[in-house]
Amino acid sequence: MTTADDLEAAPTPSRSVALSHLSVELGHLYMEDFAEGEGRLQEQFLRVRPWAETAIRQAHDAVVKGRPRISTCFLIDDYFTRFSTPREVVTMLVTAAGKAGLTIDYVARESGCARAGTIDVARLVQEHLVDEPAEGANGRPAAAVSGWLTNGERSPGTSASAMAAPRQWQPPRQSAVQNHSIFVDLELWSDRPDGSRQWSCPFLAAVWQLQRLGLLRHLGRPVAEPQPATPAELPAEWELMPAVVKLNPQAAPMRAYRTFSAIDSRFLPIELAVRTILGNVAIDPAAAAQVRTRARGEGFDLPDETVGRIAYAFL
């Protein structure tokens, strides 16, 4: 991965953001899960609770200076499927979490990972992708053109002219391989019939991780600052809901040095894709330096690689 140290300084000053020690994601569900009602959500939160509590306890143990700052969040998929209203969905989530002994500090819209206000957040991240392998390898266009990203070199094509000998098959190859390759070739977006772009679930999830880690900037400014509101104050239309809402007035900052997500095992392939994407994103150097400096000042151990700051429990 290209690190901040490999890049030139940002052309405009980068504004710092408030940071917790840990951001805990209390799940990610599909429309069919919500359709089953509050009981289904409460069941999910009861499964999540032991893992969330363990992550929080470990974060407490890792903090050597000051009080631990830990926040929780939940991402709602309003990008691929629209259902109900923000007011009804968030109220159901908060109630179900409370009955399971959990508090949701922040709730975010997945659409906010694509666009937040006037900022095309997903394209902002896409513009910081570094291709691997090099552009043009095997005749393959760059990710910015093709919409496909890989963690290595795919098998060459097997077509050959009529007069040429058949081309021998070659296996795909992972770039940072350990003994045997785990080759990933993933779609970042597709084109809609109207010509607009539909971002893939893994790409939006990668944007969400960068947001939670405090590494997103647009012209030096943080993107999608959380807006305070209660569930009852939320609008009836998804388009009118802020990208990130702060539900708990006493919550620690949403962004954090590290993230932890307790999610169903069906999301494992998506998170493999997320880690592949993040391994190819050139992080804003000023934002990355701010986070590293702040962590060192608190005596908090922080890996250089973005993916090293992300942890999961797959249920």
- Give DSSP secondary structure letters for 70-111: EEEEEEE--SS---S-HHHHHHHHHHHHHHTT----EEEEGG
The phi, psi pair for 127, rounded to 5°, reads -70, -15
Find out whether 281 and 203 touch, Cβ atoms under 8 Å: no
Does some domain include residue 128? no
CB atoms within 10 A of CB 177: 12
Find out whether 212 and 254 touch, Cβ atoms under 8 Å: yes
Give me the residues of the chain with pLDDT under 50, please: 1-2, 6-10, 134-136
Does some domain include residue 261? yes
Cβ contacts of residue 31 below 8 Å, gap of 6+?
77, 81, 83
Does some domain include residue 193? no
**pLDDT value at position 2?**
47
Owning domain of residue 79: 17-120+202-268+287-314
Rounded to the nearest angstrom, the gap between the alpha carbon of residue 35 and the centroid of all alpha carbons in its chain is 25
Find out whether 254 and 245 touch, Cβ atoms under 8 Å: no
Does some domain include residue 145? no
> What is the value of pTM for the model shown?
0.87
CA distance 60 to 38: 31
Does some domain include residue 273? no
Segment 42-57, tens digit of pLDDT = 999 999 999 999 999 9
CA distance 26 to 75: 9
Shortest CA distance to 158 belongs to which of 168, 150, 149, 148?
Answer: 168
Does some domain include residue 225? yes
| Lookup result for tokens 């899960």 | 33
**pLDDT value at position 153?**
72
**pLDDT value at position 81?**
85
Shortest CA distance to 108 belongs to which of 89, 133, 134, 84?
Answer: 89
Structure tokens, 98: 């409370």
Does some domain include residue 186? no
How far, in Å, are 9, 112, 148, 188, 215 from residue 144 at the CA level? 23, 21, 8, 9, 21
CA distance 310 to 260: 6
Does some domain include residue 299? yes
Look at the chain and report how many structural domains it folds into.
Answer: 1
Structure tokens, 306: 């973005």
